[in-house]
């Protein structure tokens, strides 16, 4: 058996009964005999094929042949499934409020529908949800299992820790959840959530039941030696109780809204007389650069309203539109969802502090480049923020962009520009390297410049460049 | 064999449940004892009925009367008496 042709997914190890791996360009899932029995029950339901057709569950088929051997070389898989590919994997700490909310609603919908045919999800985590454009897709098919008689919903606690509390924190306290989920891979626990709320919040929907009571119940019963599951079974716990709770949670989550009117970048518009003409010229330049050839994956850094992502989407299979401001991404997400856009994935990401590798052995959750290097990067109206606000040297910015491996469309904004003057306002101008000549030198060290254009106002220059050598 | 529990009530049903259901826990995540119990309160009136039964069974056990021991219970209550 050649290990080289089979790559195990580093983030898929917690459930012992199945494992995701990659072989020959396919996404495969190995199942042991227990997991295979559950899969067969799932495949026989009415809801499963319907939800796959509707795009809510990832396309899955059983491989007839034995398939590649298990990566550990010891246990042969009893069955192997093949899944459709998600074009770009993302994680909940990169999603905006609306995305986490829709992922939660999808999970609840699957639970509700599954219960109707005797099935339940083993867990309830946003890592089981991915995106096809602006539409959530459930990917962890092996999470479905037949509900045993008298069993409570084992995933309720996890649902609260990973979906509900982050949403409540943002909806009720206006605290962004992304740093919390990035900082602790298992989410926010009940007592922490309660500690972040005040007595007044007890009057708000969902807090008394799911936060306060759960925190108290968990600490009260933490050291119990009773077999609580057994007790519940003996007392006649049944599926209708789970269904009732899921109904409550669905109504609660549906009504959660994040009301923030503006943020640092949400109202950004350039207000000069040249603005319209510059915008048109810029759009035309980007259109020309993109039209050069078809692109597989484009990263739009600092995408703001997504105007250039939309241009890129006409020439690329997928555009990952990133911005560090999560209100901006929230608005973009809502627009994309309304449009039914398929080729743009909006993500919250600060270029100067992007998602690191997290989890077990620092490999469980990869960084952005691990998940898909772009073949074209758009870096428009962003460089001056990196160089002046984030103090990153110009040469390092260019080096990093080169290390991504793709072609580049970049905008250099001179110090004469009002925006740059504003950034320099309260700072000492130590930025000798922030100068057109120096920038072009750094650029030409690593890239071949294909096209250059100066915009009408005279303070902004656009470059389209291809990388030399490989990173 | 699957048992339809939608209308399950009564001691006979509970005995059947205990005898026929698998004892192995299937979840690989920790559901949390408190969280499991809380589901009774969140399950509406039907949940309160089950909750009442739960405490009735506990009471019987404490008093040493009848009651059903579940297969995997670590009986710390009895050891304290």
| pLDDT tens string A367-401 | 999 999 999 999 999 999 999 999 999 999 999 99
The mean pLDDT value for A3-18 works out to: 79
A114 and A55 fall within a common domain = no
Are the Cβ atoms of B70 and A227 closer than 8 angstroms? yes
A103 within a domain of the structure (yes/no): no
Q: Which of A227, A246, A247, A249 to mutate to test the interface with B (most CBs of B within 10 A)?
A: A227
A241 to B25: CB separation less than 8 angstroms, yes or no: no
| CATH number of the domain that residue A455 is part of | 3.40.50.150
Give the closest of A16, A146, A218 to B35, CB-based. A218
Task: Clarify whether residues A331 and A417 are in a common domain.
Answer: yes
Q: Mutating which of B15, B36, B48, B53 best tests the A interface, going by the most A Cβ atoms within 10 A?
A: B36
Q: Quick one: average pLDDT of A243-271?
A: 86
A81-93 mean pLDDT: 96
Q: A250 to chain B, minimum CA–CA distance in Å?
A: 13
Entry pTM = 0.89
* Assigned domain for A340 exists: yes
A317/A431 same-domain check: yes
- A281 and A406 housed in the same domain: yes
Whether residues A243 and A301 share a domain: the answer is: no
Q: Tell me what the mean pLDDT of segment A132-143 comes to.
A: 96
pLDDT > 90 in chain A, percent: 81
Across the interface, whether the CB atoms of B27 and A230 are under 8 A apart is answered: no
A14: nearest CA partner in chain B: B28
Report the C-alpha gap between A135 and A337 in whole angstroms: 7
Across the interface, of A158, A232, A239, the residue whose CB is closest to B36 is A232
Residues in chain B closer than 8 A to A219 (CB atoms) = 34
| Nearest partner of A302 among A206, A244, A379, A357, judged by Cα | A379
**Is A246 in the same domain as A320?**
no
Residue B8 lies in a domain: no
Contact B54/A203 with Cβ under 8 angstroms? Answer: no
pLDDT of residue A367: 96
Is residue A101 one of the residues assigned to a domain? no
For β-strands A376-379 and A295-301, DSSP reports them as parallel
Residues A64 and A208 in one domain: no
DSSP A298-339: EEEET-TT-HHHHHHHTTEEEEEEEES-HHHHHHHHHHHHHH
Q: What is the mean pLDDT of chain A?
A: 92
Whether residue B81 is contained in a domain is answered as no
Clarify whether residues A251 and A281 are in a common domain.
no
Q: Cβ of A217 and B57 within 8 Å?
A: no
pLDDT of residue A217: 94
Name residue, tokens 């100067």.
Answer: A352
Tell me the C-alpha distance between A183 and A177, whole Å: 10
pLDDT along chain B (81 residues), means of 10: 39 36 56 92 90 88 66 46 43
Residue B80 confidence (pLDDT): 45
Is residue B41 domain-resident?
yes
Query: Residue A103: which pLDDT band, with cuts at 50, 70 and 90?
Result: very high
pLDDT value, residue B72: 43
Report if residue B43 sits inside a domain. yes
Q: Measured between CA atoms, how close is B44 to chain A, in angstroms?
A: 7
Shared domain for A292 and A406, answered yes or no, is: yes
Contact B31 A230 (CB under 8 A): no
Q: Is A15 on the interface with B (CB under 8 A)?
A: yes
Q: Closest to B8 (Cβ–Cβ): which among A15, A148, A238? A: A238
More confident residue, B61 or A81: A81
3-state secondary structure (DSSP) of residue B5 = coil
DSSP annotation of A77: P
Number of domains observed in the structure of chain B:
1
Buried b (16+ CB within 10 A) or exposed e, A298-324: bbbbbbbbbebbbbbbebbebbbbbbb
Note whether A160 contacts B23, CB cutoff 8 Å: no
Q: Which of A29-33, A257-261, A411-415, B7-11 has the highest mean pLDDT?
A: A411-415
**Predicted local distance difference test score (pLDDT) of residue B7:** 41
B31/A155 Cβ within 8 A: yes
Under the banding of pLDDT at 50, 70 and 90, the label for residue A274 is low
For tokens 């410049």, name the residue.
A449
* In a shared domain, residues A37 and A120: no
pLDDT at residue A359 tops 90: yes
Give the residue numbers spanning the domain of A22: 3-85
User: Considering the domain boundaries, does residue A262 fall inside one?
Assistant: no
Q: Are residues A149 and A219 in the same domain?
A: yes
Nearest neighbour of A150 by CB, restricted to B17, B58, B71: B17
What does chain A come to in residues?
471
A13 contact B CB<8A: no
Residue B4 lies inside a defined structural domain of this protein: no
In the numeric block, which tokens belong to residue A217? Answer: 């119940």
Q: Angle at CA A349, nearest 5°, toward A347 and A352?
A: 160
Among candidate residues A85, A117, A140, the one where a domain is terminated: A85
Q: What is the mean pLDDT of residues A89-111?
A: 98
Distance, in angstroms, between B46 CA and closest chain A CA?
A: 7
- Report the pLDDT value the prediction gives residue A71, as an integer from 0 to 100: 63
Q: Between these two residues, A257 and A72, which has the higher pLDDT value?
A: A257
The chain B residue lying nearest A212, using CA atoms, is: B38
- Report if residue B6 sits inside a domain: no
Closest alpha carbon to A103 in A122, A123, A131, A83: A131
Confirm whether the ipTM is greater than 0.85.
Answer: no
B57 and B77 Cβ atoms separated by less than 8 Å: no
Q: How many domains, in total, are found in chain A?
A: 3
Q: Chain A partners of B68 at a C-beta cutoff of 8 Å?
A: 234
Q: How far is CA A17 from CA A48, A115, A124, A205, in A?
A: 20, 22, 17, 37
CA-nearest residue to B51 within chain A is: A235
Cβ A154–B2 below 8 Å, yes or no?
no
Closest CA–CA distance from residue B65 to any residue of chain A (Å): 16
Confidence of residue A5 (pLDDT cuts 50, 70, 90): low
pLDDT tens, residue by residue, A413-462: 999 998 899 999 988 888 999 999 999 999 999 999 999 999 988 999 99
Which pLDDT belongs to residue B66?
A: 57
The better pLDDT of the pair A4, A386 is held by A386
CA of B38, closest CA in chain A: separation in Å? 7
Q: How confident is the model at residue A67 (pLDDT cuts 50, 70, 90)?
A: low
The answer to whether position B80 is within a domain reads no
Domain that holds residue B66: 34-70
Inter-chain contact B38–A14, Cβ cutoff 8 Å? no
Average pLDDT over residues A252-275: 77
For residues A321 and A319, what is the distance between their CA atoms, to the nearest angstrom?
A: 6
Question: Is residue A263 in some structural domain?
Answer: no
Percent residues over pLDDT 70 in chain A: 95
- Whether A193 is in a domain gets the answer yes
Q: Is A230–B39 a contact, with Cβ atoms under 8 angstroms apart? A: no
| Cβ <8 Å between A118 and B2 | yes
Q: Is residue A91 part of a domain?
A: no
Binary contact (A154, B26; C-beta < 8 A): yes
């Amino acid at each position: 058996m050649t290990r080289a042709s089979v790559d195990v997914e580093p983030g898929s190890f917690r459930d012992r009964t199945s494992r995701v791996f990659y072989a020959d360009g396919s996404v495969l899932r190995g199942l042991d005999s227990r997991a295979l029995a559950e899969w067969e029950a799932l495949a026989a339901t009415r809801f499963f094929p319907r939800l796959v057709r509707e795009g809510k569950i990832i396309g899955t088929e059983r491989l007839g042949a034995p398939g590649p051997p298990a990566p550990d070389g010891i246990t042969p898989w009893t069955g192997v499934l093949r899944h459709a590919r998600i074009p770009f994997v993302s994680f909940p700490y990169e999603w905006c409020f609306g995305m986490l909310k829709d992922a939660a609603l999808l999970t609840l919908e699957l639970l509700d529908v599954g219960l109707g045919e005797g099935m339940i999800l083993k867990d309830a985590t946003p890592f089981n949800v991915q995106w096809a454009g602006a539409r959530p897709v459930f990917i962890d098919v092996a999470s479905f299992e037949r509900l045993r008689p008298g069993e409570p919903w084992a995933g309720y606690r996890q649902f609260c820790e990973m979906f509900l509390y982050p949403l409540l924190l943002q909806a009720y306290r206006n605290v962004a959840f992304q740093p919390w989920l990035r900082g602790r891979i298992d989410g926010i626990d009940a007592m922490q959530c309660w500690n972040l709320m005040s007595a007044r919040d007890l009057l708000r929907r969902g807090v008394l039941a799911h936060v306060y009571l759960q925190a108290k119940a968990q600490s009260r019963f933490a050291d119990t030696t009773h077999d609580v599951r057994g007790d519940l079974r003996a007392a006649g716990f049944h599926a209708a109780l789970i269904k009732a709770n899921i109904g409550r949670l669905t109504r609660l989550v549906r009504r959660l809204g994040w009301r923030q009117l503006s943020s640092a970048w949400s109202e950004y518009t350039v207000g000069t007389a040249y603005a319209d003409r510059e915008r048109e010229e810029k759009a035309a330049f980007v259109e020309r650069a993109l039209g050069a050839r078809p692109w597989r994956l484009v990263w739009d850094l600092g995408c703001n309203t997504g105007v250039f992502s939309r241009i890129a989407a006409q020439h690329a299979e997928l555009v990952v539109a990133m911005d560090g401001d999560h209100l901006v991404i929230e608005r973009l997400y809502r627009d994309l969802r309304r449009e039914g856009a398929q080729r743009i994935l909006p993500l919250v990401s600060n270029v100067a502090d992007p998602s690191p590798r997290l989890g077990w052995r620092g490999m469980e959750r990869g960084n952005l480049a691990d998940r898909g290097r772009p073949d074209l990067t758009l870096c428009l109206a962003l460089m001056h923020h990196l160089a002046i606000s984030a103090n990153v040297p110009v040469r390092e910015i260019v080096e990093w962009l080169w290390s991504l491996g793709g072609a580049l469309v970049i905008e250099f904004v001179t110090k004469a520009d009002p925006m740059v003057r504003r950034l320099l306002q309260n700072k000492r101008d130590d930025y000798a390297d922030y100068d057109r000549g120096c920038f072009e030198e750094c650029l030409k060290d690593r890239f071949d410049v294909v096209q250059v254009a100066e915009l009408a106002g005279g303070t902004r220059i656009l470059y389209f460049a291809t990388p030399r050598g490989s990173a | 064999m699957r048992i339809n529990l939608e209308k399950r009530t009564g001691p006979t049903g509970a005995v059947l449940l205990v005898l026929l259901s698998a004892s192995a826990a299937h979840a690989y995540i920790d559901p949390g004892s408190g969280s499991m119990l809380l589901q009774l309160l969140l399950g509406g009136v039907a949940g309160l009925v089950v909750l009442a039964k739960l405490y009735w069974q506990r009471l019987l056990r404490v008093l040493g009367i009848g009651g059903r021991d579940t297969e995997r219970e670590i009986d710390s209550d009895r050891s304290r008496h």
